[in-house]
Amino acid sequence: MSDLARIAQQHDAEDPLAGRRALFVLDDGVYLDGNSLGALPRSVPGRVEDVVRRQWGALKIRSWDESGWWTAPERIGDRIAPLVGAAAGQIVVGDSTSVNVLKALVGAVRLVDDARDEIVVDATTFPTDGYIAESAARLTGRTLRPVRPAEVPAALSERTAAVLLNHVDYRTGRLHDLPSLTAAVHAAGAIAVWDLCHSAGALPVGLDEHGVDLAVGCTYKYLNGGPGSPAYLYVRSGLQDRFDSPLPGWNSHAEPFGMREAYEPAAGALRGRVGTPDILSMLALEAALEVWDGVSIDAVRTKSLALTDFFLECVRAYVPEGRVESLTPVRHEERGSQVALRCSPDAGDVMKRLIGRGVVGDFRRPDVLRFGFTPLYVGFADAERAARVLAEELR
């Protein structure tokens, strides 16, 4: 056994989160793709079976009330809230991240005066945010200005209406400075909208503490909600009364069963709802969130950084010099929970071979190998094995 393999064993033996692994369905491979689709928590299949057979099959329509279906978007939002540093009553679950980006961004622009004629968007964003921002700009008659996150403070002015940023870059794993960027956006009198897809469940976000205005995120990555599980929308409590959703469906009406002709928005976070919630996915997510009971997000962050540090150390030790280049920042303050390695010209083939050997990461065009570290179920021996297999494939 190598020195690094021995060190890995010791870290795993001392890991306070090691016991959480048993809460997931895992095989004997190494799963480093939880930044794309989180692993299945053991509690989910039984819950889904109960929702389908008893709540739907037996109780039928009664379940909207008796099984708490109608209030699930707010209830599950409150379950996610502590994981992203939000007090209760500010998050609703539902729709996709893309749809929530539209609600948040158009809602943000409607909070400021018409003289603010620019929307700033992260120029390195995951594509969907860019596409939706472009449409939000057309819908609101604003100009879209793509800016790299580091250049956002210099780009802000009295013309800025809203700024849409990704907390962690999906390609490189770079963590952007949410507190200082939010403060800069506010100093310019604009509204800050954050996409938390790659940070929620991986590191502390501090939405309330840092005064974020609106935020969105998915639940199928580090929150393990399952394929296509519903996303969420955060609207800071101080803005909820003025939040004017571009998708004011009947679920966000003050009196949804009043069947009124005129729209009157509900109070609070549920103003962000649209139509009938996707109950099967939503309640699978609710069961999945039980893995967080008693877990502190700070402990998750500590382990995440230790795992990515250790993986990078193993890559340096094992992989032939010059074969890969890390795109992931070395500084902890700038790192999310994934390691991205540039591997030219054969990253796609290399990832196929890794997956064939039980080490599952993913490939992002043109030449990036991504390895996501989900501290609730990935250990140090996994990190060592992944680097060892990678080195064998690259030799």
Ligand X SMILES: Cc1ncc(COP(=O)(O)O)c(C=O)c1O
Binding site for ligand X (CB under 6 A): 96-98, 126, 128-129, 166, 170, 195, 197-198, 218, 231
Cβ 181 to ligand X, closest distance in Å?
15
29 exposure class (CB count in 10 Å sphere: 0-12, 13-18, 19+): middle
Nearest approach, Cβ of residue 238 and ligand X (Å): 25
Phi, psi for residue 127 in degrees, rounded to 5: -50, -40
Answer whether 67's CB lies under 8 Å from 282's CB. no
Can you tell me the distance from the alpha carbon of 339 to that of 11, in angstroms, rounded to the nearest whole number? 19
Q: Which helix (DSSP H) or strand (DSSP E) does residue 99 occupy?
A: helix 97-109
Tokens of 337: 């929970």
Least distance in angstroms from the C-beta of 195 to ligand X: 5
Q: Which is nearer to ligand X, 12 or 177 (CB)?
A: 177
> Least CB distance from residue 202 to ligand X, whole Å?
12
Whichever of 362 and 367 has its CB closer to ligand X, that residue is 362
Least Cα distance to 188 among 157, 224, 162, 210 occurs for 157
Residue (9 or 98) nearer to ligand X, CB: 98
d(CA 149, CA 152): 5
| Choice between 128 and 237, CB closer to ligand X | 128
Q: Copy the structure tokens of residue 224.
A: 């393990």
Other CB atoms within 10 Å distance of the CB of residue 361: 25
Catalytic residues: 126, 195, 220-221, 370
Which CB, 55 or 281, lies closer to ligand X?
Answer: 281
DSSP of 108-130: HHTTS-TT--EEEEETTS-HHHH
At closest approach, how far in Å is the CB of 176 from ligand X? Answer: 11
